[in-house]
Amino acid sequence: MDKKTVVLRELVHTWPFPLLSFQQLLQECAHCSRALLQERPSTESMQAVILGLTARLHTPETEAGTQPLCRKHALRVLDMTGLLDDGVEQDPGTMSMWDCTAAVARTCIAQQQGGTVEPGLDPIPVEVRVDLRVNRASYAFLREALRSSVGSPLRLCCRDLRAEDLPMRNTVALLQLLDAGCLRRVDLRFNNLGLRGLSVIIPHVARFQHLASLRLHYVHGDSRQPSVDGEDNFRYFLAQMGRFTCLRELSMGSSLLSGRLDQLLSTLQSPLESLELAFCALLPEDLRSLARSPHAVHLKKLDLSGNDLSGSQLEPFQGLLQAAAATLLHLELTECQLADTQLLATLPVLTRCASLRYLGLYGNPLSMAGLKELLRDSAAQAELRTVVHPFPVDCYEGLPWPPPASVLLEASINEEKFARVEAELHQLLLASGRAHVLWTTDIYGRLAADYFSL
């Protein structure tokens, strides 16, 4: 983290143990309060790691600091996962996931095509564990890197795959090259697959029997297809979902699941711990079926953003909260049309979520009075650390009622009024001894926790 690149390169070059995991090494420093994993390594540092690895593969063991008799203790796994920027609000001085994917991929290709070792030297294979990010621009060389790593001393092993805006055939080709024993997450973004496209891709995903997280978006029927084809595709999708044995997180954001949630959840073999259903047009029956399902009592993370919970959905939503209260750590309710009346009616069951750490309420039409009530009642939730709240409706001028979420997100606020609101909320937190709890309107601060970090 301090850019000691010469030392870092030599560290990788001469590492004498089977595993080098930066994520394990960079736990909080024992000598100070520096939280190293919350920092991001520089581009120079990541390049030094890759250079050290390349040098190791082309250096005899005795020069690399590994005695021949200790060959069984030589580096076997270089774990580079969990370190890098995800590309959102990236610091220009750090290496993003996109850049690291490219750098590691080029190293694999170079090792296979141009790498040479001394005659008679049998290089010790090294498994490089990485999180891969791929789009149209990076697809070709990443595919070549995965192909090159087969049978190579440098074996690329993907832990988390995120594919953005990638054509269906390219997505399938990439999935076919991944090691089924390594992959824990598949995240397909902005691909707008629809049910027809998903029915092509899902059997290739379902072969990853150890997959713990599946993130799909925009799964809906194609209006140009006959309805019978759409239903056949959905049934096929459900059958493939039933093949997963280790799935713990499912994200189906912006997918049309009205009246179909029970069909989806009932096919899964194991209870989910994280379920994201943002903008899925859920009906009351969907919420009721989720509350009754085996998943509810295991949920640690639940995202219902963009579903209207203000009318007939409110009571089933409260029942769902009641079912998940013992385990829920993270609750996201952005743009759910919750006004003061609905929030106050939900507070008794919401405050039973004693382990809740994060509550997201941005984009809901709440007043300052409603926020103060929430702040007072949430005093019982000792684990609560972050509340992302909306700008109170008191701070807008001339709002229509009820205000659409688009108006709340786009209309200007009275900065002077909001400054007074912030000051009052801060004073209430201080008075109740909860200055450590963050109340914020910042939805872009990456405060929401990833499932694997819960």
CA distances from 203 to 54, 157, 197, 199 (A): 36, 21, 11, 7
Give the pLDDT of residue 89: 47
Cross-strand partners of 158: 130
CA distances from 313 to 212, 304, 316, 320, 396 (A): 30, 11, 6, 11, 27
Question: Average pLDDT by consecutive 10-residue portion of the chain (454 residues)?
Answer: 93 92 81 77 83 80 48 82 60 59 70 56 81 89 86 87 92 94 92 83 94 88 57 93 97 92 96 97 98 98 97 97 98 97 98 97 96 96 96 92 87 94 96 95 81 92
DSSP of 133-161: EE-TTTHHHHHHHHHHHTTSSEEEEEEEE
Structure tokens at 228: 């019978």
The label of the residue with tokens 């309060």 reads: 33
Spatial neighbors of 55 by CB under 8 A, at least 6 apart, are 9, 13
Q: Write the CA distances from 337 to 261, 309, 361, 367, 401, integer angstroms.
A: 21, 6, 10, 13, 11
Per-residue model confidence (pLDDT) at position 69: 39
Q: What is the pLDDT of residue 115?
A: 53
Decide: helix, strand or coil at residue 237: helix
Contact 325, 352 (CB under 8 A): yes
How far is residue 400 from each of residues 308, 364, 396, measured CA to CA in Å?
17, 14, 10
Query: Which amino acid is it at 415?
Result: E
Contact 156, 149 (CB under 8 A): yes
**What pLDDT does 275 receive?**
98
Distances from the Cα of 141 to the Cα of 85, 101, 176, 235, angstroms:
21, 10, 15, 35
Query: Tokens in use for 85?
Result: 């920027």
Entry pTM = 0.90
Q: How many CB atoms lie within 10 A of CB 451?
A: 22
**Hey, CA dihedral for 305, 311, 312, 316, is it positive or negative?**
positive
Do 52 and 8 contact (CB within 8 A), yes or no? yes
DSSP state of 305: T
| pLDDT recorded at residue 98 | 63
Contact residues for 283 (Cβ-Cβ < 8 A; gap 6+): 258, 259, 313
d(CA 142, CA 156): 10
Class of residue 267 by CB neighbours under 10 A (exposed 0-12, middle 13-18, buried 19+) = middle
CA distances, 188 to each of 20, 159, 297, 338, 447 (Å):
29, 14, 27, 30, 22
Write the CA distances from 204 to 94, 160, 182, 208, integer angstroms.
34, 15, 15, 8
- CA 85 to centroid of chain Cα atoms: 12
Tell me the C-alpha distance between 156 and 148, whole Å.
Answer: 9
Beta strands in 248-327, from DSSP E residues, in sequence order: 249-251, 274-276, 301-303
33 is written with which tokens?
A: 């309060």
pLDDT in the model for residue 298: 98
